[in-house]
Amino acid sequence: MERRCKHCGDLFTPCANVAHQRYCCEAECQKARKNEWRKKKLATDSDYRLNQYDAQKRWRQRHPEYWGGYRTSHPEYARRNRALQRDRNHKRREGVIAKSDESSICNPMRSGYYRLIPAEAEAIAKRDEYLVKLDVIPRGYLQVPDIFPDCKQIT
């Protein structure tokens, strides 16, 4: 007694111990069966709905790195966040320098972000450019190399 699978339409022989088997054993069809079951359950069973909601919430709490994935798929959100963070870093850094060395006011080279373009690239086509953070380091700071831990290339 073969039956037609509700998903793929192929004929299959139901297992003896599954009373009303409507799907064959193909992985795709079993997935469809589970989805169908879940949809029906969500629509009819409020306890199940609440449980699912709680489980999803707990999953998000256990997997905060999910937000890393969110940033990757929402580049504008990530770009804006980085810009805001740069602003904050910049302001903090300026505060540190102003307090630690008055003479930096007279220094024509200011701490901040600069575009770095390979010199020979200007004459030719537009090439890669690098956004670099330059910190004016007052004398005396060289003895404390860790004072600017995030002084590195930012692209």
Which residues of this chain interact with Zn ion, rule CB under 5 A? 5, 7-8, 24, 26, 29
Closest CB to Zn ion among residues 8, 132: 8
Give CA 83 to chain center in angstroms.
Answer: 16
Q: Residue 104: which of 117, 94, 113, 114 has the closest Cα?
A: 94
DSSP 33-55: HHHHHHHHHHHH-HHHHHHHHHH
Nearer to Zn ion, 24 or 97 (CB): 24
CB of 7 to Zn ion, least distance (A): 5
8 A C-beta contact, residue 48 and residue 24: no
Please report how close the Cβ of residue 87 comes to Zn ion at its closest, in angstroms. 57
Rounded least distance, CB 14 to Zn ion, Å:
12
Closest CB to Zn ion among residues 4, 110: 4
The tokens describing 140, both together, are: 């005396």
Minimum distance of Zn ion from residue 17's CB (angstroms): 19
Nearer to Zn ion, 23 or 97 (CB): 23
The secondary structure of residue 85, as a DSSP letter, is: H
